[in-house]
Amino acid sequence: MNDVYDNNMRLLPLLKFLDKHKRTIVAVIIVILSVSAYLIISSQIDKKNHENAALIYNDWLIELSIEEPDLEKLDSMLEELLQNYKSTGYTQIALLSKANMDAKNNNLDEALENFTTLINLTDGITGNKIFNKMARVSAARIEVSNGKFDEALELIQKYSASETNAYIHELTGDILAKKGNIKLAQSQYELASAKYSDQASKSIIAMKIAGLENSSE
């Protein structure tokens, strides 16, 4: 009997606490259940979205494999991916593929638009950094061909720190050289040369540096 009484006495503070804060506890439980339900539903929606995007992307690849693909059909499928499944990797791959195709066909305005869309989709902490860099570099090259050197530099500025890869330094050097910033261009070429591991690339950079020196004489 005493054991039962002692146990009840030990539980008394807990019971008082639960009684005093029961509304708060109920509210917390409701929030936890709501968040759990939301996460479960969101996960199911994401899975369904990826499945739907995969089906569209498969049709995209089939159309792309044709010797003369229907460009309007490709544009239509890409638009559907962008409107309904833009956060999926399938959309980003299709967008990169279409932008490269446009650039190859000399449709530079459309290519730039698609590269810019891809940049916006992949920016940020959670974005795909590989696609983002590829899109920025490609868009920068188009801007260079359009004579928009400042816009080109702005596109690759995100990856122009000293720890970045050699090609970014080389491209930055090319743009600065076109702007007439010889010293800055040479500095970027030297960084590129230090990071390139193959002799062929180093030789190309050496030629570019020599060209700068000749132009400054």
- DSSP characters over 29-40: HHHHHHHHHHHH
Residues 6+ apart with CB under 8 A from 91: 53, 57, 78, 81, 82, 85, 121
| CATH number of the CATH domain containing 128 | 1.25.40.10
> Pick the residue with more confidence: 113 or 158?
113
Is 177 a member of any domain?
no
Query: Could you give the number of structural domains in the chain?
Result: 1
Q: Does pLDDT of 7 surpass 70?
A: no
Q: What average pLDDT score do residues 184-198 get?
A: 90
Q: One-letter amino acid identity for 21?
A: H
Q: What is the mean pLDDT of the chain?
A: 80
Joined tokens for residue 195: 């990071």
Q: Band the pLDDT of 15: cuts 50, 70, 90.
A: low
| Interval 82-131: pLDDT, tens | 998 888 888 988 999 899 989 988 999 999 999 999 999 998 888 888 88
Residue 58 located in a structural domain: yes
Confirm whether 4 is domain-assigned. Answer: no
> Is residue 1 included in any domain, yes or no?
no
- Asked if residue 69 is part of any domain, the answer here is yes
Contact present, 42 and 34 (Cβ < 8 Å): no
Give domain status of residue 127, yes or no.
yes
What pLDDT does residue 12 have? Answer: 57
On whether the CB atoms of residues 135 and 119 are closer than 8 A, the answer is yes
Sign of the CA dihedral with 155 first, then 160, 164, and 170 last: positive
Does residue 207 form part of some domain? no
Query: Rounded to whole angstroms, how far apart are CA atoms 157 and 196?
Result: 20
pLDDT interval class at 41 (50, 70, 90)? very low
In a domain, 97, yes or no: yes
- The whole domain housing 108 covers 47-159
Residue 8 has pLDDT above 60, yes or no: no
DSSP state of 59: H
- Residue-level pLDDT at 35: 45
- In the predicted model, is pLDDT for residue 162 greater than 90? no
138 with 99: CB under 8 angstroms?
A: yes
